[in-house]
Amino acid sequence: MAPPLLSLQGVALTFGGTPLLESADLSVGAGDRVCLVGRNGSGKSTLLRIAAGLVEADRGEVFRQPGATIRYLPQEPDMGGYGTVLAYVEAGLGPGDDPYRAQYLLGELGLSGEEDPAALSGGEARRAALARTLAPEPDILLLDEPTNHLDLTTIEWLEAELRSRRGALVLISHDRRFLTNLSQATVWLDRGRTRRIERGFGEFEAWRDSVLAEEEAERHRLDRKIAAEEHWVRYGVTARRKRNVRRMAALAALRQTRRTERRAAGAVRMAAAEAEQSGTLVIEAKNLAKSFGGRPIVADFSTRILRGDRVGIVGPNGAGKTTLVKLLTGMLEPDTGSVRLGAALEMVALDQRRENLDPNDTLAEAMTEGRGDMITVGTETRHVIGYLKDFLFSPEQARTPVRVLSGGERGRIMLARALARPSNLLVLDEPTNDLDLETLDVLEEMLGEYAGTILLISHDRDFLDRIATSVIVPEGNGRWLEYAGGYTDMLAQRGADLLARPAAARPQPRPRGEAPVQTSAAPTAKRRLSFHQQHALKTLPSRIETLTREIAALQAKLADPELYARDRAAFDKASAAVTQKAAELEAAETEWLELEILREELG
């Protein structure tokens, strides 16, 4: 068996008295595809930096095969000291590397190389750092959240690029689809220690859950053993006579084990404070158009968004996703067209850039905006520390300045602030950035239970598949089309990913030298009802009829003037049943009406 290119064994590191890594291992051989997973703050980035030689461990063995090239992509690249992006990327090349790789990768990533590094946006800086990391074609790539702040087209390009490489890869990412498509082994960093399975991320979560369940069962067994030993100490005959020293020492050891074990961090408790229900119609847009500097961003776009819809908006950076959302929510006036907002809308927006967080504020001040220690969550008043605990912040962190928080912690703070405000329309701009997988799970569950309407800009394909009921996609020249279902459903209907135009709109290749044929505009992809919506349309009429008969029978029973005196319990039961079934009937009729309107619109 060939020796590994990189090996970390028993690595330990302590910051500020708290062990971050206690006994972490990482082994990477030629061609390995390893994903490194764990909660925010578990030490994943630190372990990768130790592997890259940027941080020295307190103890443990680190081996790097002589001659092996390792390149590391940090979450926040330092581009200071370089006049252009091309100079920054070329500085990462080695003596034998192809100098044209730098320009090629920058072109693939949408950069010319002449840009000023200091003037780049977050997404552009990420692309430049990727080009610098990928250009040398190293033996091992260490990538820390490479998809953060990238649009979907760049993520799909990067995925294809990494899949085509022969070198080894160690990957940290919150993007489930990205991890599943690229990984062949998974290393789980949990409570300072690592566990490894020789399977990709697609099989990791079920395995992790089984490990945690077994730990919980073992903890219960330990608790029962401690209780039995304490019973013996108090009531055992031998104990009353002479105190068995060995057994007392064993009990002390059990208690020590229970005290010192590092338990898995608690789960985030996330719930949106919901306002009164909005009207059935939330947003109706007709023939919207908006241009900037002569460039059409939105052209002749119409849609109808009803209460409970979850609308995903995807596309490359610069396509106009944020502009479209602002037009739909009335925050920006269209050049032509109209937007009608429904009744009783209470909108809350989550800003992906987190610009409205003052870095000098403490967490508590950021949550309460400096107004004491209490926060109103919906209609409930809570102490800010108790609310922060729901989002996995310790009481000590409440006085911590925002500027020292990690990206994931800042993301949780923004979510906590947004979800505390009552709403029936959530506008989420890249809500998954920097969140760990467990927090993503809870966010998905909360959004699934949210009774209001959601507008969601996201580059996370898996997240869109789990949340969205329809997806709006740019098709070029300001045209946007809406497809039923999630991201995968959109691809199936569109016939192409976001790197290409839909199959119906792609021109056929022509022989060299032949003049182009003038044709009429290609037909556009057509939005269709989802399977769930089609099934509901078929079954709701019979459901409405059944409920109507049941209500009539109950009302006939209640019409008996002697029922109340004869059988009070039966009267109360029938009254409650009528109320419940009337509510069910109203909901079924409303859903059927909304689907019928949608079916007529789609033709």
For the stretch 133-176, pLDDT in tens is 999 889 999 999 998 878 888 888 899 999 998 899 999 998 99
Let me know: does 69 contact 138? Beta carbons within 8 Å. yes
33 in a known ligand binding site: no
| Higher-pLDDT residue of 532, 194 | 194
Distance of alpha carbon 33 from alpha carbon 357, whole angstroms: 37
Cβ-Cβ contacts under 8 Å for 91 (sequence gap 6 or more):
82, 132
319 in a known ligand binding site: yes
Which of 52-56, 149-153, 227-231 reaches the highest mean pLDDT? 52-56
**Tokens describing residue 595:** 């689907």
Fold of 6-206: Rossmann fold (3.40.50)
> In terms of C-beta density within 10 A (0-12 exposed, 13-18 middle, 19 or more buried), how is residue 62 classed?
middle
121 in a known ligand binding site: no
- Is residue 521 over pLDDT 50? no
> In terms of C-beta density within 10 A (0-12 exposed, 13-18 middle, 19 or more buried), how is residue 283 classed?
buried
Which of 67-71, 270-274, 291-295 reaches the highest mean pLDDT? 67-71
Cα angle for residues 164, 78, 119 (degrees, 5° grid): 95
- Check residue 242 and give its pLDDT: 47
- Check residue 520 and give its pLDDT: 35
- Check residue 359 and give its pLDDT: 81
- Check residue 499 and give its pLDDT: 58
CATH 3.40.50.300: which residues of the chain?
A: 6-206, 281-503
- Check residue 114 and give its pLDDT: 92
- Is residue 268 over pLDDT 70? no
For 56-79, the DSSP string reads: --SEEEEEE-TT--EEEE-SS---
Let me know: does 454 contact 428? Beta carbons within 8 Å. yes
What is the largest distance, in Å, between two alpha-carbon atoms of the chain? 107
45 in a known ligand binding site: yes
321 in a known ligand binding site: yes
- Check residue 34 and give its pLDDT: 96
> How many C-alpha atoms does 15 have within 13 Å on its Cβ side?
9
**Tokens describing residue 188:** 């789980």
Distance of alpha carbon 170 from alpha carbon 36, whole angstroms: 7
317 in a known ligand binding site: yes
41 in a known ligand binding site: yes
- Is residue 473 over pLDDT 90? yes
pTM, two decimals, is 0.67
Cβ–Cβ contacts within 10 Å for residue 394, how many?
10
- Is residue 504 over pLDDT 60? no
Cα angle for residues 58, 64, 68 (degrees, 5° grid): 150
The alpha carbons of the chain give a radius of gyration, in whole angstroms, of 29
Sheet containing strand 193-197, strands side by side: 59-64, 6-15, 18-28, 193-197, 185-190, 33-37, 168-172, 140-144, 70-73
- Is residue 500 over pLDDT 70? no
39 in a known ligand binding site: yes
**Dihedral sign, Cα of residue 58, residue 62, residue 67, residue 72:** negative
- Check residue 275 and give its pLDDT: 65
CATH of domain 281-503: 3.40.50.300
- Is residue 378 over pLDDT 90? no
- Check residue 525 and give its pLDDT: 40
- Check residue 348 and give its pLDDT: 87
Which of 249-263, 287-301, 348-362, 539-553 reaches the highest mean pLDDT? 287-301
Nearest in space to 537 (alpha carbons), one of 586, 596, 587, 484: 596
Mean pLDDT of 447-474: 89
370 in a known ligand binding site: no
* Position 352, amino acid: Q
Q: Poorest-confidence range of 51-55, 227-231, 306-310, 500-504?
A: 500-504
318 in a known ligand binding site: yes
Distance of alpha carbon 132 from alpha carbon 125, whole angstroms: 11
- Is residue 121 over pLDDT 60? yes
pLDDT tens, position by position, 562-573 = 777 788 888 878
Q: What 3 state SS string does 31-48 have?
A: CCEEEEECCCCCCHHHHH
- Is residue 550 over pLDDT 50? yes
CATH 1.10.287: which residues of the chain?
A: 531-602
| Higher-pLDDT residue of 465, 568 | 465
474 in a known ligand binding site: no
Instruction: Tabulate helix, strand, coil % of the chain (nearest 5).
Output: 45, 20, 35
16 in a known ligand binding site: no
Q: What are phi and psi of 79, to 5 degrees?
A: -110, 15
Mean pLDDT of 435-453: 81
- Check residue 214 and give its pLDDT: 80
CATH 1.10.287 fits 531-602, yes or no: yes
> In terms of C-beta density within 10 A (0-12 exposed, 13-18 middle, 19 or more buried), how is residue 131 classed?
buried
Percent of the chain exceeding pLDDT 90 equals: 30
Q: How confident is the model at residue 290 (pLDDT cuts 50, 70, 90)?
A: very high
Q: Poorest-confidence range of 368-372, 398-402, 491-495, 578-582?
A: 368-372
| Higher-pLDDT residue of 514, 421 | 421
Mean pLDDT of 108-123: 86
For residue 250, how far is the Cα from the chain centroid? 46
- Is residue 251 over pLDDT 60? no
Mean pLDDT of 239-246: 48
Average pLDDT, the chain: 81
